[in-house]
A and B are shown apart, each in its own frame.
Chain A
Amino acid sequence: MSGGSTNVARSRLQRWREAARLIRNLVRIHPRPFVIAVAGAAVFATCTVASSVVLRWVIDHVIDPRLRRGHVDTTTVFAGIGLVIGVGVVRAGGVVVRRTWAGIARWRIAEKLSGEVVDRLVEQPITWHQRRPSGDLAARAGVDVDAAVEVLSPLPFASSVVLMVIVSSIWMLVIDVPLGLFAVAVFPVLISINLTYQHRVDRHYTEAQAHLGDLSAAVHESFEGVQVVKAFGAEQRETERLATIAARLRQSRTSAVLLKGTFDAVLDVVPALVNVSLVLFGAFRIRAGAISIGDLSSMIYMFTLLVFPLRIIGYALSSLPHALAGWDRIREVLDEPIEADPEASLQRSTGDVGLMFEDVSYRFEPDRPVLDDIDLTVALGSTVALVGTTGSGKTTLLRLASGLLGSDTGRVSRVDGEHALVLQEAFLLGDTLRENIAFGGQYSDDDIWRALECAEGRDFVEELPRGLDTEVGERGVSLSGGQRQRVALARALVRRPALLLLDDTTSALDPATEARVVSNLRSELDHATVLMVASRPSTIALADRVVFLHDARVVATGTHNELLLSNDTYRTIMEAFEVDRSALEPGVGG
């Protein structure tokens, strides 16, 4: 039993250490603004205590003499007023300094940290990315950084509250030891009520946050699938399902607000009762001649001023677990070593070879090869179609050729010069079409238009009111799948690559447009080596040669017609496009 409690104590100590280390690490990034903020907070704390000292002085030297005894020096009155205004202004100045520089510290540190994470994200190869869900990685440069630095914003204020508690305790003890002891003893009580409240209410807030996340995801899915919902008349069912999640959210929120009602009342009552007691005990001390009316009023005033700031301590501590979790997740990305760039293992091909695979194997899992013993040569300047069913390893082969993946065994060599890979699922930035095609490179508008023309995308871009300046994505126009693919293709073509790798890049185009794109490629990039994944027979027929992949191996190479004659599986797949047609209408198929 005692062992358990030491364990808890140790883990709490551990948590404090971790928190201290987190704060040190964050502050070290930009120490200056943080130090200035803390200094501002110290001025604020000192002035808060000073204002109660001033009040005592004004009561004892201005108000009491004038209103009870009838006379006071004008100079004394002005001195009192000057002190009140002076302390008030300096105190306000402290707040301005604290808030301004606390903000600077927080946002500059966040900026630096997310920049570091982003640098890592672009440096790691795609194998590293593939092991992690993308939403999770994006969070590390955004939400996690923000959660980690969140700990900094209440920190200067919280440290000034600690200072305030210490200074005011001393001040109250100086005024009167018995009364002071009584008041000081209440501080720990107030702090522990605050901490208890924060701890208990956080549980509900965390719960509510999780329910809200569930609700958002469920609502999004339900609205996205609205056509299915309507098609099966499930509107009522769906509303009820979402309502149960909303009810859970309501439950957590209600629990939190009920708790808040109680604790707010307690946190009002305790200091108020302390103040009432101070009046009561103060009366005896005044009678004993130990203190003045000003002394007592100043103590009560002091206490009133401290009640609100004390709450910040609970709040500051409540952000710690979040911040620590965020920091750990950032460190995971920053501390992992940069993995080797697979592109470095690529060889330069010689002679009339555009791309060559020698004994290349690749596997995701030990006993399931994605590519097994691939030997393949693409002649310089030729166009080769890569054919195979889903899962035969076509995409992996292209990734190996582009240097995105490194082979487990064997050797990949390719022609020197620019190379470009276009994926089936076109990735577009939320930016202009021009920026999406240039993609970090420098190209003239003429080059870009020419690339678009070759990709059969010129017409639709010209029809857009803002042409190349059209923004795509959430804040701009939404392009169709085929249009996106053509923009992605233009991105590759504008680079005039020596090696062009296309992963079923034209799948969303109609057959006629697709055929035009392929013949454009042949005439426009006549020196380029092209390896393209294709599925339509009409497109495949345009290639010089066909490489047929099946079950992770190259099972046949040759021209389309040769393969149709020599390979049964290949013929079955090719004819699948026409099977139903010829079955229905014997006259047309052949």
Chain B
Amino acid sequence: MSNENRASIVLDEEMGVGRLGAVRILSRGVEEAPILRQGFGITLLLALLGAAGRVVIPVTVQQAIDHGFRESGVKVGFIVALCSISAGVVLIGATAQRAAVRRLGRRSEGALYELRVRVIAHIHRLSLADHNEERRGALVARVTSDVETLAEFFSWGGLAWLLDGALMLIVAGVMLSYDWLLALIAFAVALPLIWVLRAVQAHLGPAYDKARTKNSEMYGSVTEIVTGAETLRAYRAGRVMAGRTKRVAKDRSDAFVRAGILGAFLFPSGEVFSALTVSAVVGVGVARGPGGGLTAGALVGFVFLTYRFLEPIAEFTEVLDQTQTAVAGLRRLLGILDIPAGPPPPTAPQELPAGPLSIDVADVTFQYRTRGELDDDEPVLIGVNAHIPAGQQVALVGSTGSGKTTLGRLLARFADPGGGQIRLGGVPLTLVSNDELRRRLVVVPQEPFLFDDTIAANLGFALPGTSLADLERAVSKLDLDDWLSALPEGLQTSVGERGSQLSAGERQLVALLRASVADPDVLILDEATSSVDALTEVRMSRALERLAQGRTTIAIAHRLSTAMRADRVLVLEHGRLIEDGPHEQLVTNGGHYADLFAAWVSSTSTADNG
């Protein structure tokens, strides 16, 4: 089921585990989830005992025919004894098998849980560079569909390896003990089945992969019809697009039917080989006659055992395929665990001084780690130096790609600089514990993310346990009471998925409030680029001004009005700090900033003001 939505983007091609063989991957998997190894020997023993219970019937029939139903008559005493023993073995075997299944089930679910939580924890600790939008689906897939392929494996394939493997072993043993020659003949005739199955399998895997791809294409196409309903209608393109979706739906059907036909030959080939093997066994057995020591009971028992032996083989080929899928899933999971986590925590953390904090940027250089991509050699930041005294309001200005967003990230320690050092209140950032850093320094991102919950819950995220009264006080402090009271349910208003019930400007307001609840000493603000409606804009700048009071504030400014309000403007271009000073001074100096400002003034002026 979850195979269907396995839209897996392989993340780990360049990772070390990408090249390890299946056995190494499995043993590393066991290493990561040691619970799997606990008492595995006992589980195996129980499985073998269970398998012994499943060959009772052929053996009973053989014994009854050879020793119970004599030409001279039926030996009732023997039959009663035989049946009592058989019933006992059946019960013991079933009990053992039950125990084996339950042991394996408990441990594998435990292992999956541990693995899942470890991967989640690790992903949360990855640096933001590993968290871009294109990768998000893949990261979510690691925790959901990849773990699910393992879950499917354990609930079916893993059990099959254990139970059917044990069964085939025991059946082969019994056959060999009856008549080693007949047994070898049976194995020899059955052997080509494996090749037949592998051949079908080789086509079946890709056929199902294709069908699954077509399946997600169709689901995607249907989603487009629905999400784009308004545009489709505005362009009267409904019919054309419905035709497009139907073509994809037909492709999907074709792919599934084709894969289905291949699959249709897989199981019955086992049946054909059973018939061939039984015929060979009967033919050879009858040809040799009673002289070879073969009894009628043993031959009948052989016929029964042959079916038992071949039954799991057809299943095994599917299990093999599923095992490959599971190993691939495990490989991707281990790949995630191998990505180094974000900035390492300090071994001996130093405390930050109390009160507002100064920031020192000393000769900072940064270059994004690229993964096999070619756009290297271009550092994002080059030798940036700045001392920002405690409580100063600073605006970072520069065009897209100038490095201002990256500098903001380094200040928040979402990544560490490649060269140079950043100090907060005199303490190197690398020596500040994460807990303290997040308490003292808060980032308001450009597109603030809101959880699908109430405004109150989103604000409380900053400081769990904040009372409703405190939240209301925060709202008043930023002068947003009028905005809040206009909302249908005030603080209890639901914001919807990603805050979709609010406008872009309102989401910004919630983010500012959230930062205010955290009450940090340093505020790093990544301003939004998109325009919001004028009244919200005014509200926002007023709230921001109040929020910034008494804190060291770094605004990554996209609006020059923000820069104008700041105590100091840092202008970055191509990763270098090219201008540094208050707004008026930079304008009068007539550099890069002065040009930007002139362009902005002309574009925002109303006609009659010019």
Contacts and interface: CB of A to CB of B under 8 A. Distances in A.
Contacts of B140: 216, 219-220, 223
Contacts of A250: 109-110, 112-113
A212 B144 contact: yes
Given A67-B294, A129-B229, A265-B98, A138 B219 contact: yes
A293 B143 contact: no
Interface in B62-106: 64-65, 68-69, 71, 73-74, 76, 79-80, 82-83, 86-87, 90-91, 94-95, 97-102, 105-106
B183 interface: no
A233 B218 contact: no
A266 B101 CA distance: 13
B120 A511 contact: no
B116 to A, nearest CB: 5
A80 B239 CA distance: 63
B427 to A, nearest CB: 17
B347 interface: no
Given A87-B275, A227-B449, A232 B106 contact: no
A89 B270 CA distance: 10
A423 interface: yes
A301 interface: yes
Interface string A566-590: 0000000111111111001100111
Q: Which of A115, A143, A226 has the most CB of B within 10 A?
A: A226
Contact of A272 (B53, B264, B276, B561): B53
A143 B215 CA distance: 11
A68 interface: yes
Q: Identify the interface centre among A102, A283, A538: most chain B CB within 10 Å of its CB.
A: A283
B241 A122 contact: yes
A434 interface: no
Given A122-B239, A430-B220, A481 B443 contact: no
A233 B275 contact: no
A508 to B, nearest CB: 5
A309 interface: no
Nearest to B270: A92
Contacts, number: 453
Given A142-B218, A231-B412, A91 B271 contact: yes
Contacts of A577: 534, 537, 604, 606
A84 B461 contact: no
A243 interface: yes
A141 to B, nearest CB: 4
B151 A253 contact: yes
Given A232-B442, A427-B228, A103 B105 contact: no
A344 interface: no
A269 B265 CA distance: 31
Interface stretch (B297-305, B354-362, B376-384, B569-577): B297-305
Nearest to A272: B90
Given A100-B261, A118-B246, A584-B564, A107 B253 contact: yes
A517 interface: no
B205 to A, nearest CB: 17
B443 A231 contact: yes
A537 B604 contact: yes
Contacts of B531: 507, 535-536
A590 B605 CA distance: 9
A317 to B, nearest CB: 18
Most A C-beta atoms less than 10 A away, residue of B100, B133, B503, B601: B601
B79 A578 contact: no
Contacts of A233: 434-435, 437-439
A478 to B, nearest CB: 7
Contacts of A125: 233
Given A88-B272, A239-B121, A110 B57 contact: no
A279 B79 contact: yes
Contact of A511 (B102, B110, B272, B604): B604
A283 B79 contact: yes
A40 to B, nearest CB: 9
A99 B606 contact: no
B464 interface: yes
Contacts of A243: 117, 120
A430 B239 contact: no
A62 interface: yes
For chain A, which range describes its interface: under 10, 10 to 19, 20 to 34, or 35 or more residues?
A: 35 or more
B230 A404 contact: yes
Interface string B446-461: 0011111000000001
Interface in A409-442: 420-421, 423, 427, 429-430, 439-441
A125 B54 CA distance: 63
Nearest to B4: A146
Interface string A199-216: 000000000000010011
Given A276-B57, A578-B606, A286 B224 contact: no
A223 B131 contact: yes
B286 A77 contact: yes
B286 A512 contact: no
Interface string A71-98: 0100001001100110111011101101
Interface in A126-168: 126, 129, 134, 137-138, 141-143
A304 B268 contact: no
Contact of A88 (B64, B100, B274, B294): B274
Contacts of B533: 389-390, 535
B445 interface: yes
A557 B600 CA distance: 28
A103 B257 contact: yes
Contacts of A575: 606
Nearest to B273: A88
B56 interface: yes
A318 B231 CA distance: 41
A68 B601 CA distance: 111
A258 interface: yes
Given A92-B268, A577-B537, A481 B231 contact: no
Interface string A465-490: 00000000010001001000000100
Interface string A212-256: 100110011111111111111111111100110011011001100
Contacts of A138: 219, 222-223, 225-227
A235 B503 CA distance: 27
Contact of A276 (B90, B101, B271, B463): B90
Given A58-B282, A231-B443, A576-B534, A440 B235 contact: yes
A521 interface: no
Interface in B29-77: 53-54, 56-57, 60-61, 64-65, 68-69, 71, 73-74, 76
B461 A538 contact: no
Contacts of A194: none
A104 B257 contact: yes
A257 B226 contact: no
A301 B226 contact: no
B462 A279 contact: no
A80 B445 CA distance: 80
A330 B299 CA distance: 56
B148 interface: yes
Contact of A129 (B226, B536, B604): B226
A275 interface: yes
B428 interface: no
Most B CB within 10 A of own CB, among A63, A254, A508: A63
B106 A118 contact: no
B279 A474 contact: no
Contacts of A98: 264
8 contacts: A111-B252, A115-B245, A129-B229, A293-B296, A420-B234, A439-B235, A535-B534, A580-B538
Given A62-B286, A280-B79, 19 more contacts: A63-B299, A64-B296, A70-B289, A80-B282, A121-B225, A220-B140, A227-B449, A232-B461, A232-B518, A239-B117, A276-B60, A283-B74, A283-B76, A297-B65, A511-B604, A538-B606, A580-B538, A581-B561, A590-B605
Give the top 5 A-B pairs by smallest Cβ distance, nearest first: A88-B275, A233-B438, A257-B105, A103-B260, A122-B238
